[in-house]
């Protein structure tokens, strides 16, 4: 059965996203400071975490390409209209070929893809969307598990910078945890641009793999012709435990899947029968309306190397103010970092995590308002005690080729990196 696997994966995700935050200096409970406290310390004023409701995901986009209604069905369909993966006899013989065609055709389109699953005492809803050039990228998930837990997560990326928020009912004391990223995908192995583990390909492939589909005609919706595939029995190993299978797919001759629905009864380990249903849909012609509204409530930080390499700039580009007394872990190298950054620390893609060349911690003494910046410098030897924070652009003696900034002691965690080049870059 697939459901236990999903529940196990969800537990792992919760561990990655929240246990680290709660046990090793991660994002803590929301502040309960009064307005006078906030004015004095710069701390954010928020609802007590235990009382905060789960956030509701909302795609920051509108679609101009959604077809509504059933359309006009016709039994007539020529072999030349069969989408990739469909054999000459009209059966869906190669699901992988259809998936390849779908994602190749939509890679450079502005789309929103939605997946849903319902089962015994559990529901899953996931959304993935991106612009025509891959930016912005948005994803969300809202999962209720059979043990009564709920996880809500949203991510939004625009180029090298991204933001996420996650809520888990198993950790109510944390409230909704926010994170900001730059050139870093720490804790976002699935729900990030290009992420595929339990991602878009798996979600679309699930209802397709489960049934024995064959061509059943065409559906005309507006100016679009969709080939209809239907199935009334499960396929492969699924047939051993699934009965009453019913599936329907609407796909263009080029292989773009606009709709897929399926449902079945499955035998559980204890002999009882459980009902499952899946549905996926695609919206095209999507117009993005900007970042999600919740990003206005968090400081949107960016890091860059300035002053001819002699300083690191940390700028608040928008949203809320960064509170005073925020600790910032600074990681530095004289040379650019090849590979990737993990958790703000240099991570060599070939040899694994290794200590940074230089590291120090600095603390802000005043609020950093949107539009403002602070600057980090270091002595020539890069000794931790020589790192300093400045309110104005300042050149130090140390030359930064790479800089990473990590902060996990407030309501928002940050994992930022700059000065990173691919292994393929000469």
According to DSSP, the residues that pair with 372 across neighbouring strands are none
Domain boundaries, the chain: 2-23+57-173+180-288, 298-421
Residue 106 confidence (pLDDT): 92
Residue 44 confidence (pLDDT): 34
For residues 312 and 333, what is the distance between their CA atoms, to the nearest angstrom?
Answer: 12
Confidence class for position 7, pLDDT limits 50, 70, 90: very low
Residue 24 confidence (pLDDT): 32
Residue 385 confidence (pLDDT): 93
Residue 260 confidence (pLDDT): 95
pLDDT averaged over the chain? 80
Condensed to tens digits (0 to 9), the pLDDT of residues 316-341 reads 999 999 999 999 999 999 988 876 55
Condensed to tens digits (0 to 9), the pLDDT of residues 336-361 reads 887 655 555 555 433 333 455 678 99
Q: Are strands 402-407 and 388-390 parallel, antiparallel or unpaired?
A: unpaired
- What are phi and psi for residue 104, nearest 5 degrees? -65, -40
Condensed to tens digits (0 to 9), the pLDDT of residues 85-103 reads 999 999 999 999 999 999 9
What secondary structure letter does DSSP report for 184?
Answer: B
Segment 280-302 shows an average pLDDT of 93
329: left (phi over 0), alpha (psi -120 to 50) or beta: beta
Question: CA-based Rg of the chain, rounded to a whole angstrom?
Answer: 25
Residue 269 confidence (pLDDT): 78
Confidence class for position 185, pLDDT limits 50, 70, 90: low
User: Is 20 a residue whose pLDDT tops 50?
Assistant: no
Residue 142 confidence (pLDDT): 93
**Is the whole model's pTM more than 0.85, yes or no?**
no
Residue 346 confidence (pLDDT): 57
CA 74 to mean position of chain CA atoms:
39
Condensed to tens digits (0 to 9), the pLDDT of residues 33-58 reads 333 333 333 333 333 444 567 888 88
- Determine the 3-state secondary structure of 40 from DSSP: helix
- Determine the 3-state secondary structure of 50 from DSSP: helix
- Flag the least confident range among 231-235, 268-272, 311-315, 391-395: 268-272
Cα angle value 65/70/71 (rounded, 5°): 75
User: Is 386 a residue whose pLDDT tops 70?
Assistant: yes
Q: Where are the alpha helices (DSSP H) in 15-87?
A: 20-23, 35-41
Architecture of domain 298-421: Sandwich (2.60)
SS (H, E, C) 278-323: EEEEEEECEEECCCCHHHHHCEEEEEEEEHHHCEEEEEEEEECCEC
Residue 356 confidence (pLDDT): 59
Handedness of CA 335, 341, 345, 349 (dihedral sign): negative
Using a pLDDT cut of 90, give the percent of the chain over it: 51
Instruction: Give the CB-side neighbour count of residue 376, counting CA atoms within 13 A.
Output: 31
């Amino acid at each position: 059965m697939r459901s236990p696997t999903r529940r196990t994966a969800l537990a792992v995700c919760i561990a990655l996203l929240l246990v680290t935050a709660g046990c090793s200096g991660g994002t803590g409970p929301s502040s309960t400071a009064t307005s006078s406290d906030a004015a004095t310390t710069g701390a954010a004023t928020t609802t007590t975490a235990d009382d905060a409701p789960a956030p509701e995901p909302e795609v920051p986009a509108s679609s101009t390409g959604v077809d509504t209604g059933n359309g006009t069905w016709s039994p007539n369909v020529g072999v030349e209209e069969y989408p990739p993966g469909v054999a000459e006899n009209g059966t869906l013989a190669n699901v992988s070929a259809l998936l390849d065609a779908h994602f190749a055709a939509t890679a450079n389109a502005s789309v929103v893809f939605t997946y849903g699953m319902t089962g015994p005492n559990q529901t899953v809803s996931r959304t993935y969307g991106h612009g025509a050039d891959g930016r912005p990228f948005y994803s969300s998930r809202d999962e209720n598990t059979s043990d009564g837990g709920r996880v809500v997560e949203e991510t939004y990326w625009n180029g090298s910078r991204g933001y996420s928020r996650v809520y888990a009912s198993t950790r109510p004391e944390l409230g909704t945890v926010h994170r900001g990223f730059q050139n870093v995908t720490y804790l976002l192995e699935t729900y990030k641009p290009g992420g595929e583990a339990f991602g878009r390909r798996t979600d679309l492939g699930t209802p397709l793999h489960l049934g024995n589909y064959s061509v059943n005609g065409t559906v005309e919706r507006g100016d679009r012709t969709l080939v209809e595939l239907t199935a009334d029995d499960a396929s492969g190993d699924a047939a051993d435990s699934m009965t009453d299978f019913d599936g329907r797919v609407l796909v263009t001759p080029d292989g773009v899947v606009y709709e897929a629905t399926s449902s079945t009864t499955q035998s559980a380990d204890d002999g009882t029968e459980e009902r499952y249903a899946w549905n996926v849909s695609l919206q095209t012609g999507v117009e993005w309306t900007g970042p999600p509204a919740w990003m206005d409530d968090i400081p949107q930080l960016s890091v860059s190397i300035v002053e001819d390499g002699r300083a690191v700039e940390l700028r608040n580009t928008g949203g809320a103010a960064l509170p005073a007394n925020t600790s910032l872990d600074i990681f530095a190298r004289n040379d650019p970092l090849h590979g990737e950054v993990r958790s703000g620390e240099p991570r060599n893609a070939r040899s694994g995590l290794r200590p940074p060349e230089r590291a120090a911690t600095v603390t802000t003494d005043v609020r950093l308002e949107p539009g403002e910046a602070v600057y980090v410098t270091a002595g020539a030897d890069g000794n931790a005690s020589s790192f300093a924070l400045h309110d104005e652009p300042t050149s130090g003696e140390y030359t930064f080729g790479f800089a990473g900034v990590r902060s996990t002691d407030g309501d928002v965690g940050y994992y930022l990196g700059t000065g990173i080049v691919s292994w393929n870059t000469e």
